[in-house]
Amino acid sequence: MINRVLFRLYRTLMILCLFIFFPMLPDAQEPPESLINILYRLSFDQELYQAAQIIGVSTWDKHLLPFPPEDTWLYSLQYHLSNIASISRVFMNTAEYDPFAFANEKGIPVFVDIEIGGDIGVPDIEVRYTIQEVFAKSHTIRKSYRADFPSEYDLLSFFWAQLVVDVENFVAGRLSPPLTIRGAAHSLVYGIADTPLVLPEEGVLNMPVYLPRTFQWKMVNPGYYTRTGTFFADKDNTELTLPQERFSSFSLDLGLFMGRFPDLWFSWYEPSCHWVFSVGIQQQAFGLFLSEPGTDSSFSTQPLLMPGLSALYRFYNSDKPYSPTFFLSAVLFMRINYADFHFEDLTVGGTDFGGLHTDDLIWTILPAGLAFDNFSPVSFGLSAGYNWESRSGFSFFFEGGAAFYFLGSDYRNSPSKGSSDAGILQFFLGDALYIEAPTFRFGLRYRF
């Protein structure tokens, strides 16, 4: 009676130790930089297990220790496997999952299958195990050993020692040589480890990995194009060089509005390269004109300057920076008319200098010569387009959209809108808004 009480107390204390210490195992040691995960499955010879549950182990074990419960076997095994330095995480397979399907789904490269067997009346048991690569099943180890029937203490101490050594050697044999990653300093690299890796200041990182293995990597670094790729690593191919293409933060655009009027824009690209903000000018002081037969002029001129601000959003794949890019843009113009200004009317101190004056020139132009356009003091444009980039920094763009004119005092001054040709869609909305569509623009862009 006393022995039975002591045995039960002993078992309770051992199980409590397992439950108290096992949840702390993942944090008990510094995790390796990026090693491997493994999957294990533990099964028992059912005849032996049922017999031991019913009659105890007194016929085998002179210490008369009770048969350890199944949870004790599982947790003790996971405890020892988790403490192998080259293993980052241990998964337990249950009967409801096919182990190889589960390992393939989770990307687990090693499967350890353990079976406990023996004969009733024999004082020891047999541990049979198979260590196998999931993705290359030709790499397999099958071994077994016999040991005295274990107590809870034995399971926590020496019982799994031979299995642990074989698993450690199996993994270590495929962790060498280390993988070398080269790239821009401070880059975040995803897909190599469970957590993102950060390249050090020198841009080179060496780390042990399980070989052979295929990585789906992604590199993110402000100021560089985000890139992704696939890398197969084996013992002859262990150096991954990441692209280090800096994206250009600025661009200069030379365009042709409505196929007629040249314009100039300076742009800045925010770090994600999606948003682009621009400042520039459109003008109608000089424009190309396809003259009709019998006319002499090949140019068009109207007294209009349009400084503006633009915001553009690029729907681009950062992994392929030189592919065609679709974008949407919005632009706001201030429309300035200089039709009333004449150089010959200017004098300085009552003296005529042949029409060109310096001292009082700016004070005369601003109040007298420049004014908001009568047709519309401001205009707003929306457009969509494509941009074709090249590795040389040059690209060609085309965009089409519509222009919205907020009417001024003289809506009949229509030649000073965007062009003097009638568009497909031109109409007034009361006295406040005039719409013209389509408008279009194309040209060259240089990023630097």
Q: Is the peptide bond before 177 cis (omega within 30 degrees of 0)?
A: yes
Q: Quick check: 92 pLDDT over 50?
A: yes
The rounded distance, in Å, linking the Cα atoms of 312 and 277 is 6
Give the distance, in angstroms, between the CA of residue 229 and the centroid of all CA atoms in the same chain.
Answer: 12
Domain range list for the chain: 2-172, 179-241, 250-335+373-447
pLDDT band at 211 (very low <50, low <70, confident <90, very high): confident
Residue range 179-241, CATH number? 2.60.40.1120
Q: Quick check: 37 pLDDT over 70?
A: yes
Query: Token match 């623009």: residue?
Result: 441
The rounded distance, in Å, linking the Cα atoms of 227 and 421 is 46
The rounded distance, in Å, linking the Cα atoms of 117 and 316 is 60
Query: Token match 């309770």: residue?
Result: 12
CATH fold of 2-172, please?
Answer: Rossmann fold (3.40.50)
Q: What is the DSSP string of 388-409?
A: EE-TTSEEEEEEEEEEEEE--S
Per the model's pLDDT, the better-predicted residue between 294 and 42 turns out to be 42
**In the chain, what percentage of residues exceed pLDDT 70?**
70
* Section 319-341 average pLDDT: 82
Most confident segment among 99-113, 334-348, 385-399: 385-399
**What's the pTM?**
0.52
Look at residue 386 in the predicted model and tell me its pLDDT: 94
Residue closest to 394 by CA, chosen among 248, 224, 227, 222 = 248
Residue closest to 36 by CA, chosen among 172, 160, 199, 217 = 172
Look at residue 329 in the predicted model and tell me its pLDDT: 97
Q: Quick check: 448 pLDDT over 70?
A: yes
Q: Quick check: 19 pLDDT over 70?
A: no
Look at residue 440 in the predicted model and tell me its pLDDT: 93
* Section 22-33 average pLDDT: 37
The rounded distance, in Å, linking the Cα atoms of 131 and 103 is 13
- Per DSSP, the three-state class of 107 is coil
Q: Quick check: 38 pLDDT over 50?
A: yes
Most confident segment among 102-106, 136-140, 179-183, 230-234: 179-183
325-334 and 378-389 strand pairing: antiparallel
Task: Please report, for residues 259, 291, 297, 298, 302, the alpha-carbon distance to residue 294 in angstroms, rounded to integers and kept in the order given.
Answer: 22, 8, 10, 11, 22
Look at residue 161 in the predicted model and tell me its pLDDT: 92
Look at residue 151 in the predicted model and tell me its pLDDT: 78
Q: Is the peptide bond before 438 cis (omega within 30 degrees of 0)?
A: yes
Q: Quick check: 446 pLDDT over 70?
A: yes
Written as six digits, the tokens of 215 are: 């990585």
At the top level of CATH, the class of 250-335+373-447 is mainly beta
Look at residue 256 in the predicted model and tell me its pLDDT: 93
